[in-house]
Amino acid sequence: MSKLFVIIVTVTAPHDHVQKVFPAHLEWLQKHFSSGNLLSIARTINELGAINIGVAESEEAMKEIMDTDPIMPGVAKYELKEIEISKMSPALLAFARSEK
């Protein structure tokens, strides 16, 4: 059974280091979004980083996926939080669709 994770990504390197790996990071994001491992991708507004939602068979499997991201390690770090959604408003999906 798959598990759901909030993935908190914090950039730890200077901006010029981020720019060097950013194109490869974007490709990585698209690959895992298309495969279904990442269900949402959200950058943080007031700091360099992201809060994403991912799915994998286990925490170890999610870590293995995250460790293949070109920004890991050295440019960013991540923290995984396994979650179980108990309730979600349809307004969240409508908001996400309206922002495209």
Query: What CATH number corresponds to the domain at position 73?
Result: 3.30.70.1060
Model confidence pLDDT, tens digit, residues 72-99: 988 999 999 999 988 888 888 788 777 6
Q: What pLDDT sits at residue 15?
A: 87
Q: How far is CA 49 from CA 10, 44, 57, 93, in A?
A: 5, 5, 25, 22
Burial tier of 9 (Cβ tally within 10 Å: 0-12, 13-18, 19+): buried
Q: What is the pLDDT of residue 99?
A: 62
User: Structural domain of residue 23, as residue ranges?
Assistant: 3-98
The per-residue pLDDT for range 24-59, each reduced to its tens digit, is 999 999 999 999 999 999 999 988 899 999 999 999
Phi-psi region of 48 (alpha: psi -120 to 50; beta: other; left: phi over 0): beta
Per the structure, how many domains does the chain have? 1
Task: Determine the length of the chain.
Answer: 100
